[in-house]
Structure 1
Amino acid sequence: MMIAENGYPRLHALNISKDPLDDDGRPKRTGTMWTASAHIITAVIGSGVLSLAWAMAQLGWIAGPVVMILFSFVTYYTSTLLASCYRTGDPVTGKRNYTYMDAVKSSLGGQMFKICGTVQYVNLFGIAIGYTIASAISMMAVKRSNCHHKNGLTGSCKVNSNPFMVAFGVAEILLSQIPDFDQLWWLSTVAAVMSFTYSSAGLGLGIAKVAENKQILGSSTGITVGLVTESAAITPIQKVRRVFQALGNIAFAYSYSIILIEIQDTIKSPPSEVETMKVANRFSVAVTTLFYMLCACFGYAAFGDSSPGNLLTATGLNPYWLLDVANVAVVLHLVGAYQVFSQPIFAFVEDQAARRFPDSRFVNKEIKIRLPGSGDKGLNMFRLVWRTGFVVVSTTISILVPFFNDIVGLLGAIGFWPLTVYFPIEMYIAGRKIVRWSGKWVLLKLLSMGCLMITVAAAAGSIAGIVDDLKASKGL
């Protein structure tokens, strides 16, 4: 992906052809159902897949698959509603909306545009924290895996996450200062290859572990009350909290609405972009759900109630080298993904600062620095201080709250209802002028309220999990 002028992700396919031009004066779009599906699958399959075995362990063999299928249906349906908002007015000749935020502004107005932007930026900041934690966990897993390989599974292989988080933060500080980071076209390709590498490796390792065990672990209701974990026995309240948190983990794995409009903006017409996108949504959600079900089910079958929060950190997975390759792929993916998801925040703050302080040399002056082999590069002091501060804050929070599943669950809760459900439904109602209290209006509102309840439950479960883990880490 690239970053558009307004700070939001933009796909490279926009610039594939220079002539002729489309109806909006932009280069002719050449995307198809297959390229759109590829973009969606690449965007969806990521680090969220690593927590699905743990989520399945909380829900069990009955509720787990059912919940995942329900999330897939809701995601598909609301994504279809969102796709219909690509053009304002006529679905064939209406004005194009190039980003999710453009669609919100044209359909719901400026106030909702600001609210949506706030939710997006909070979610993106949270993702930066989550990626810092996930990368550190993978680096720790590599070191721990090699230690076990050398000293045996019974050997002491304790690893501190803080140095790895600091190292990740230092790398992000350096990367965040690269001018025109959005022009690194190869980043999307590397990210796609890495995400499929560790996702496929996780699935393969889970299958190998089931074959090694020669039995399928797990139960119909998930983790049992009274089970002794690393900290204490599972209480009934903790069981409920973990179930709610699992909902957030699954929601996070399905999040891609934020870039759906951008993907749709790469599709050629005729047929209309909406029709092509509906088919792409159906195909990609089906493929993603199948892959997620395989990863979650084989991971749960391999480890049962003791399924780890991150599948690639499980003890006893073999071969060691494949586990190391998978975790290295996670780190490489997240190093770039952190920048992709942080660039919109960087662009927004820097644009606002330039507008408010047009005469400030600190904010606007570019200092030319000549780098060997790279020519002159611009260094902006405000950008240096602001982006460094952003990375320092996200890294510090990650060190203070290094709980992968809790953070992933909270991120899933924050982003699921407002971005995947509420705004698409409200934009669809406004764009199609659906009459208030009509049958369709009532059903859409009920769907939105039901998903809001799931979001609240997932957020509550994740926050409670953070509190419990903080108490456990401090010995309270």
Structure 2
Amino acid sequence: MGESTATNNHHHHHHHNGQVYDVSVNMPMQFCSKVVDDDGRPQRTGTVWTASAHIITAVIGSGVLSLAWAIAQLGWIAGPTVMFLFSFVIYYTSTLLADCYRSGDPLFGKRNYTYMDAVRSNLGGYKVKLCGLIQYLNIFGVAIGYTIAASISMMAIKRSNCFHASDGKDPCHMSSNPYMIAFGVTQILFSQIPDFDQIWWLSIFAAVMSFTYSSIGLGLGIAQVAATGTIKGSLTGISIGTVTQTQKIWRSFQALGDIAFAYSFSIILIEIQDTIKSPPSEAKTMKKATLISTIVTTAFYLLCGCMGYAAFGDLAPGNLLTGRILQPVLASRHRQCSHCHPFSRAYQVYCQPLFAFIEKWAAAKWPDSGFITKDTNIPILCLKQPYKLNMFRFVWRSLFVVSTTVISMLLPFFNDVVGILGAFGFWPLTVYFPVEMYIAQKKIAKWSTRWICLQMLSFACLMISIAAAAGSVAGVVLDLKVYRPFKTSY
């Protein structure tokens, strides 16, 4: 394929004022340093395993932390069932999405590099703007979620140390704000790294880290069950009496949102698919990768969620790493940083598309502004090439991080925020757009059996999303009754 385009290029002349310019003889020369793919981009090298690793890294993040709480709301029967249902839906819509990476022919069709590109080439019109809006709001929300989760986790460590030092006599009240600010500052630094996605070792490191830290949660659950010798929890979840009838309903809905959040990874799938080498077609490889990663994350989530519930029963905390119960257990020092890494990596992975989008848009809108387009070279010790400082990138990314940090300080109730995000991102990005794009791409006839089934799936998921959003909003309303901004302490 690459060869044929290269040879065609030589016979490609432009006629202009009767003269013949041979334009593209030089074209292959620029790329001699790197082998290129059919679209002139550097050769992709991804495999099933790298793709699965990417997905798993991106998914197993802060979602794990509220799962024990979610299962506690639903109970031993409904909890795992709902998780299986979600994982099935996610896997299915991800396979639909994999087919939308190339428009037309699955091997040689035009590539879509991002989720937005796929929506643009398959649906077009106002839906592209709608998708962009939801996607970027979602990313903004995820950034807030990660800031809250990271600071809460760092705080849990600090408190457990303080707890230990005083042998549990000091209640160790502290504010989460300094931690949020610290996290924000590290993110400002990280966000200035251009091409964050090319640092593959970071991805591997982060994958290991997020597993470590989720397994801490898991280990704590197992330890607790072993210590007490009883498996807590009930078949129907938290009992009415502990909470009122209406609260039980709202919290069950919110639990759906939390689980949806733990599974919402469609937004990054196309970007990951864009790293895969072909043949076989990228879609084929991607479907395998999604299957592997869905199975791994579901198994992992069930373990974490169920162990947390078995350990703490109805009292399972909204964020596993902060529940009071864990304070003494968490104190061992060597776990100190395992909490912060996955968040900072995940924060960057999620925010990069948004950063890139705004920068591209600004450069197109004001092409002559030096502030936006000019790069200043700053030599840095021990780096081969100097660091390119772009003023606009610096200012805009810093502002972004600052705003998410401030909002996190105002909104510290982790699992409500997670529930709202899960609810708002889940249906449009995970179900609606993939289904619509697939219908458009495969030209599925209206009212055919296939079409009706897809629409029913989409409608059912919409209902779940609405219920989850309602439950989470109800949760926030309840929390706000007892809440004082900037004063959060645990």
TM-score, normalization by structure 1: 0.88
Number of the residue aligned with 1:473: 483
Aligned counterpart, 1:314: 323
2-structure distance, mates of 1:376, 1:27: 22
The 5-angstrom pairing of residues 136-285 of structure 1 reads 136-153=151-168, 155-227=170-242, 234-285=243-294
Are residues 1:380 and 2:395 paired? no
Q: Distance in 2 between matches of 1:335 and 1:40?
A: 16
The alignment partner of 1:386 has SS state of: helix
Tell me the secondary structure at the aligned position of residue 301 of structure 1: helix
2:70 counterpart of 1:61? no
3-state SS in 2 of match to 1:277: helix
Q: SS of the residue aligned with 2:241?
A: coil
- Give the Cα–Cα distance (whole angstroms) in 2 for the partners of residues 265 and 184 of structure 1: 16
Equivalent position to 1:90, from 105, 108, 113? 105
Q: Please give the alpha-carbon distance, in whole angstroms, between the structure 1 residues aligned to 2:98 and 2:451.
A: 18
Instruction: Single out whichever of 130-139 and 89-98 deviates more from structure 2.
Output: 89-98
Q: 1:379 is paired with a residue of what secondary structure?
A: strand
Mark the CA change 1:258 to 1:386 in structure 2 (over 3 Å): closer, same or farther.
same
1:351-366 residue pairs with structure 2 within 5 A? Answer: 351-366=360-375
Larger deviation, residues 447-456 vs 143-152: 143-152
1:74-97: CA deviation from partner (whole Å, max 9, x where unpaired)? 011111111121221122332222
Q: Is 1:344 equivalent to 2:353 in the alignment?
A: yes
Partner of 1:442: 452
Whether contact under 8 Å (1:149, 1:320) holds in the other structure is no
* Gaps in structure 1 of 5+ consecutive residues: 1-16, 228-233
Q: CA deviation at 1:342?
A: 2.1
Retained in 2: the 8 A contact 1:317–1:323?
no
1:129/1:398 contact within 8 Å kept: yes
Aligned partner of 1:70 in structure 2 is: 85
* CA separation of 1:293 and 1:179: change in aligned 2, threshold 3 A: closer
Q: Secondary structure at the match of 1:329?
A: coil
CA distance in 2, matches of 1:324, 1:66: 37
The residue that corresponds to 1:427 in the other structure is 437
Give the Å deviation of 1:27.
4.3
Amino acid at match of 2:48: M
Q: Judging changes above 3 Å, is the alpha-carbon distance between structure 1 residues 267 and 322 closer, same or farther for their aligned structure 2 residues?
A: farther
How much does 1:272 deviate?
3.0
Distance 1:41 1:53 in 2: 19
Task: Tell me by how many angstroms 1:376 deviates.
Answer: 4.3
Instruction: Classify 1:308/1:323 alpha carbon distance in 2 versus 1 (closer, same or farther; 3 Å).
Output: farther
Alignment of 1:301 with 2:310, yes or no, is: yes
Contact 1:146–1:320, Cα closer than 8 Å, also in 2: no
Worse-superposed segment, 251-260 or 269-278: 269-278
Report the Cα distance in structure 1 between the residues aligned to 2:360 and 2:40, rounded to whole angstroms. 25
Residue in structure 2 matched with residue 3 of structure 1 by the alignment: none
Q: CA 1:319 to 1:344, structure 2 compared with 1: closer, same or farther past 3 Å? A: same
Give deviations 1:355-397, integer Å, cap 9, x for gaps.
2223333333444444455574343333333222222211111
Partner Cα separation in structure 2 for residue 97 and residue 362 of structure 1: 30
When residues 347 and 134 of structure 1 are mapped into structure 2, their CA distance, relative to the original with a 3 A threshold, is same
Q: Distance in 1 between matches of 2:324 and 2:71?
A: 18
Structure 1 residues 380 and 97, CA, compared in 2 at 3 Å: closer, same or farther? closer
Find the partner of 2:408 among 380, 383, 398: 398
1:201-255 CA-to-partner distances (Å, cap 9, x unmatched) read 211111111101100001111112332xxxxxx3222222211111111111112
Amino acid across the alignment from 1:100: Y
* Mean Cα deviation higher: 301-310 or 263-272: 263-272
Query: How much does 1:115 deviate?
Result: 1.5
Output the TM-score relative to the length of structure 2: 0.86
Match of 1:459 among 461, 469, 474: 469
Structure 1 CA distance for aligned equivalents of residues 277 and 355 of structure 2: 31
The percent identity for this pair of structures is 65
1:241–1:461 CA contact under 8 A, matched in 2: yes
SS at match of 1:174: helix
Q: Equivalent of 1:45, from 35, 57, 60?
A: 60
In the TM superposition, residue 321 of structure 1 has moved relative to its aligned partner by 5.7
Is 1:408 paired with 2:418? yes
Distance 1:76 1:377, change over 3 A: closer
AA aligned to 2:413 is F
Q: Tell me by how many angstroms 1:110 deviates.
A: 3.9
1:329 lines up with 2:338 in the alignment: yes
Say which is worse superposed, 306-315 or 46-55, in terms of deviation.
306-315
Measured after TM superposition, the shift of residue 322 of structure 1 is 7.1
Q: CA, structure 1 residues 325+99, in 2 after alignment: closer, same or farther (shift >3 Å)?
A: farther
SS in 2 for 1:211: helix
The Cα of 1:323 is off from its aligned counterpart by: 6.1
Is the Cα–Cα contact under 8 Å of residues 36 and 267 in structure 1 kept in the other structure?
Answer: yes
Deviations 1:37-59 (A, max 9, x none): 33322222111111110110111
Offset at residue 295 of structure 1 (A): 0.8
C-alpha distance in 1 between matches for 2:274 and 2:195: 22
Q: Alignment partner of 2:100: what SS?
A: coil
Q: CA deviation at 1:294?
A: 0.9
- Aligned CA RMSD, in angstroms, stands at 2.4
- Looking at structure 2, the residues matched to 373 and 35 of structure 1 have their Cα atoms a distance apart, in angstroms, of 29
Q: Which residue of 1 aligns with 2:29?
A: none
Cα deviation for residue 108 of structure 1 reads 0.7
Aligned to 1:134: 149
